[in-house]
Structure 1
Amino acid sequence: MSISALHQIFQQFPTICTDTRKITDNCIFFALKGDNFNGNDYAESALREGAAYAVVDDKKYAGFDKVFLVDDVLETLQGLAKYHRNHRAAKIIALTGSNGKTTTKELIFSVLSQKYKTVATVGNLNNHIGVPLTLLSIKEDTEIAIVEMGANHLKEIEFLCSIALPDFGYITNFGKAHLEGFGGVEGVIKGKSELYEFITTHNGIAFLNADDPIQLEKLGTYIHKYGFTQNKKDYYKIEFLKADPCVSLQVEDTCIQSHLIGSYNFTNCCAAIVMGKYFNIPLDVIKQAIESYVPQNNRSQIIDKDGRQIILDAYNANPSSMKVALENFSKLEGSPKMAFLGDMFELGESAATEHQIIADLSSQLNIDKVFLLGENFSMTDSSFTKFKNYDDFKSRFMDLGLTKNGKILIKGSRGMALERLLDLL
């Protein structure tokens, strides 16, 4: 079946599903493969559950009613998404970066949706499957689509751009994330910069943090750029005021008080503000949008529990985000301060070194107690109390003698699931 023919059917049944546990009536089921499953085996089940059609790449299903046989289901999904993108008038904003992608995306959505019909990546579905699904969520009346792009290897952002064909691009930052796949920080910079390379090659608009020397270098003399700054000329000035614990900032004569913890969220707010300005949204409306956004899903959430103020930042972690989270936490007023830190994943050969750096940093900061959880942290040379895993921590929890007040930081990679600590605390 051709992509154009499939797109005609998609227009009649505009819901895509890749998981039979989430089948909805009259959706189109794409039988994707994974390391531990083959979606082809669930095609008949999807149709019984209410799917209008199923797209498969296993010949044994050829000739079945309501089943489309293609050479490769994933490539077909990606091709359909690109075809659909080209048949919709929506402007595409793509963003990537080492830290803050999802928060920034949600802030941008909060601002732009005040004036425009806007869609955005759901959660962090930002890979070779998630990006096509976001593009396929664009409706005929959609004016702007915000597409988050994640990557852990070179050429991934380049590939995602070839599908999404963004009109605008923004990189949050370059940090120590996915070092195993990128082969080091230089690889991270090169990989994330593939977005700016696409934008400049295709004469799009590049948004940037003009105080980031790497972004300035990558964009060079490119004229179609629009950025924010605290101290440079020729860019939109936004002033950082404080972060105790949430970020507040000054734009022109307007103060904006966010619900986002930590100075590291300042630039995330700035990106949403500068895009709002570019798209002619009044500053008072931008202020309302930023101030109404409250983080969820274990991302820099503030939880007041039994006399303690808990900062839950357990959605993910890498050396860059861990460093700024700890530095910000140490500057907060009040005591005692306790930090529960979980292992950082996907660091490859750098894992031991990076975990030791974080342990060393923690010992130098104004934090009263630090607890380290995970295989990597448990092998660091430090005087902190260490636990090989969550079960080890749970079994020894009652012996820790924790105070009933103060501030607590919980941060670790997703695989550590440190939100489980809340039940104990």
Structure 2
Amino acid sequence: MINSLRLTDAAIRFGGTLLNPDCEFDGVSIDSRNIAEGDLFVALIGERRDGHKFLADVTDRASGLVVSAADRDLPLPQWVVEDTTVALGQLAQLQREAFSGTVIAVTGSTGKTSVKDLIRSILGGLGTVHATKGNFNNHIGVPLTLLDIQQDSDFAVIEMGASAASEISYLCSIAQPHISLINNVQSAHLEGFGSVAGIAAAKSEIYSSLDAAGTAILNLDQQWQAEWMALIGERACITFSLDDDCADVSASDIEMMESGCCRFTLHLFTDTSLESQVVSLAIPGRHSVSNALAAAACAMAAGASIEQIVTGLEAARSPARRLEVKALAQGGQIIDDSYNASPESVRAAIDVLASRPGHRVMVLGDMAELGADAQQLHREVGDYALSAGIDQLYTLGSLSASASAVFNGQHFTDLEDLKVPLFKEIERSDLSLLVKGSRSSKMDLIVDILVTGKS
């Protein structure tokens, strides 16, 4: 945490009622199982669990409680509020206001975590960087990330996700970023927004919420860039593009290597000069070049030089289960992209697989949250895999059957049945096997089974 707070600080600022003597705390927990000594415990009410049921479990470690229903039998200080989730955000807002470093906010349909990690890698050459852990990017994860910032950090890179309109605005009201980016807008999570245009409108809140003195990072390759530019208005803006060499940050001479990773020339335009350097990424995929440009633009806004940007980009590695290459004992390789899936990210992963030599196999689970177009979108990725020259497609789930039908692949509804052909496939020393699917498809289980060789 940045610095110690007292419950009175929160109550004076945001209201509510204080019960029992005040307390000071420098840590906040929402999980009774791992609360540290002296932490403030916030009793969140979720769909499946109510933190108020565990108050007695934390009395010997917590310094105080945030509750929506006071427990007068407990001697601990209690801040009694209407909504404990809102109160968590308010505590985070207090801590954010005490932070003197630079805050960078990143949203987008895909690539948020990759861009966040690339920014962290670059800015690590300039100072101490605090960044979102895992996928803590929602109305609970963002406050917890902010509450975990250390006082001596120079930068905070905050990943923001959304499942509905107004969520990004809310997260920005807490995080108060200096630099804001929409990496892209794609058809992920269509079910929650109704259309890709709805997703674009929700993501654009990151620009309309930006302070007048802030800097917007704009992807010129997105069809909504004109609307976003209008929202950005008079704010400072740094543009990036894979296709437009007039952007402030651009790339040329993009070359995909046998590993599936790209080498390219990075160009940075400033008011006074053009600087260029060659970058060799260790993260697979042509789409990773776009992610690298987005990260470079954010780092440029934060004061990084081109040398620091190149060093940071080349040092970065794939996040866990995002095009992560894993060796098989038999000599082949698995490309573990099981973290999540959208139609666009599936096509990007297919491109990586298609660039590799040898026998190329894909295992695809269902892509979730695609709404009424789900069957058609699965058919389209099956056709894309066929056109890319993938040698074999195995699918698991119900929706993915549409992809298998177009490809003339093999579809399974049971993991045990799928394991039989996959264990035969991994006997090949020239195998490149891509595993992809939404988190709900649990494709990570397939990766772990094949890597360990244990069924």
- Structure 1 length as normaliser, TM-score? 0.91
Q: Helix, strand or coil: the match of 1:337?
A: strand
Q: Helix, strand or coil: the match of 2:33?
A: helix
| 2:216 corresponds to 1:206 | yes
Preserved contact between residue 215 and residue 301 of structure 2 (Cα < 8 Å): no
Aligned pair count reads 420
2:342 matched to which residue of 1?
Answer: 318
Could you tell me which of 168, 172, 188 is aligned with 2:199?
188
Return the alpha-carbon distance in structure 2 between the equivalents of residues 240 and 392 of structure 1.
45
Change (3 A) 1:308 1:42: same
Return the alpha-carbon distance in structure 2 between the equivalents of residues 401 and 28 of structure 1.
50
Could you tell me which of 47, 52, 55 is aligned with 2:66?
55
Could you tell me which of 130, 141, 154 is aligned with 2:141?
130
2:17 matched to which residue of 1?
Answer: none
Q: Helix, strand or coil: the match of 1:238?
A: strand
| 2:150 corresponds to 1:172 | no
Return the alpha-carbon distance in structure 2 between the equivalents of residues 309 and 212 of structure 1.
34
Return the alpha-carbon distance in structure 1 between the equivalents of residues 140 and 106 of structure 2.
16
Could you tell me which of 240, 249, 253 is aligned with 2:264?
249
AA in 1 matched with 2:74: F
Report the alpha carbon displacement of residue 302 of structure 1 after superposing the two structures with TM. Answer: 1.1
Could you tell me which of 84, 88, 91 is aligned with 2:99?
88
Q: Which runs of 5+ in 1 are unaligned?
A: none
| 2:137 corresponds to 1:111 | no
| 2:33 corresponds to 1:27 | no
Preserved contact between residue 160 and residue 171 of structure 2 (Cα < 8 Å): yes
1:357 matched to which residue of 2?
Answer: 380
| 2:413 corresponds to 1:413 | no
Preserved contact between residue 3 and residue 76 of structure 1 (Cα < 8 Å): no
Return the alpha-carbon distance in structure 2 between the equivalents of residues 375 and 196 of structure 1.
38
Could you tell me which of 357, 369, 380 is aligned with 1:346?
369
RMSD: 2.5
Per-residue displacement from partner, 1:380-415 (whole Å, max 9, x unpaired)?
533210011423423665577963422111111112
Per-residue displacement from partner, 1:170-227 (whole Å, max 9, x unpaired)?
011000011000001111111111112222x644210122333422441147341012
Report the alpha carbon displacement of residue 254 of structure 1 after superposing the two structures with TM. Answer: 2.2
Return the alpha-carbon distance in structure 1 between the equivalents of residues 368 and 59 of structure 2.
38
Return the alpha-carbon distance in structure 2 between the equivalents of residues 45 and 24 of structure 1.
12
Return the alpha-carbon distance in structure 1 between the equivalents of residues 197 and 82 of structure 2.
37
Return the alpha-carbon distance in structure 2 between the equivalents of residues 281 and 210 of structure 1.
21
Report the alpha carbon displacement of residue 81 of structure 1 after superposing the two structures with TM. Answer: 1.2
Report the alpha carbon displacement of residue 424 of structure 1 after superposing the two structures with TM. Answer: 2.9
Return the alpha-carbon distance in structure 1 between the equivalents of residues 429 and 389 of structure 2.
19
2:171 matched to which residue of 1?
Answer: 160
Change (3 A) 1:240 1:185: farther
Preserved contact between residue 249 and residue 293 of structure 2 (Cα < 8 Å): no
Return the alpha-carbon distance in structure 1 between the equivalents of residues 121 and 339 of structure 2.
20
Preserved contact between residue 162 and residue 168 of structure 2 (Cα < 8 Å): yes
Report the alpha carbon displacement of residue 27 of structure 1 after superposing the two structures with TM. Answer: 1.4
Report the alpha carbon displacement of residue 240 of structure 1 after superposing the two structures with TM. Answer: 5.2
AA in 1 matched with 2:265: Q
Report the alpha carbon displacement of residue 80 of structure 1 after superposing the two structures with TM. Answer: 1.2
Could you tell me which of 226, 229, 232 is aligned with 2:245?
232
AA in 1 matched with 2:76: K
2:296 matched to which residue of 1?
Answer: 273
Could you tell me which of 217, 220, 225 is aligned with 1:215?
225
2:54 matched to which residue of 1?
Answer: 42
Report the alpha carbon displacement of residue 374 of structure 1 after superposing the two structures with TM. Answer: 1.1
Report the alpha carbon displacement of residue 32 of structure 1 after superposing the two structures with TM. Answer: 0.8
AA in 2 matched with 1:154: A
Return the alpha-carbon distance in structure 1 between the equivalents of residues 215 and 128 of structure 2.
20
Q: Which runs of 5+ in 2 are unaligned?
A: 1-6, 14-20, 267-274
Preserved contact between residue 343 and residue 376 of structure 1 (Cα < 8 Å): yes
Q: Helix, strand or coil: the match of 1:371?
A: strand
AA in 1 matched with 2:333: Q
Moved more, 369-378 or 219-228: 219-228
Per-residue displacement from partner, 1:140-168 (whole Å, max 9, x unpaired)?
33332111110111121122112222221
Moved more, 392-401 or 157-166: 392-401
Tell me the percent identity: 30
Return the alpha-carbon distance in structure 2 between the equivalents of residues 11 and 45 of structure 1.
18
Change (3 A) 1:146 1:396: same
Per-residue displacement from partner, 1:340-388 (whole Å, max 9, x unpaired)?
1111111122222211221222222211111111111125533210011
Q: Helix, strand or coil: the match of 1:376?
A: coil
Preserved contact between residue 375 and residue 389 of structure 1 (Cα < 8 Å): no
Change (3 A) 1:399 1:334: closer
Preserved contact between residue 211 and residue 232 of structure 1 (Cα < 8 Å): no
Preserved contact between residue 300 and residue 311 of structure 1 (Cα < 8 Å): yes
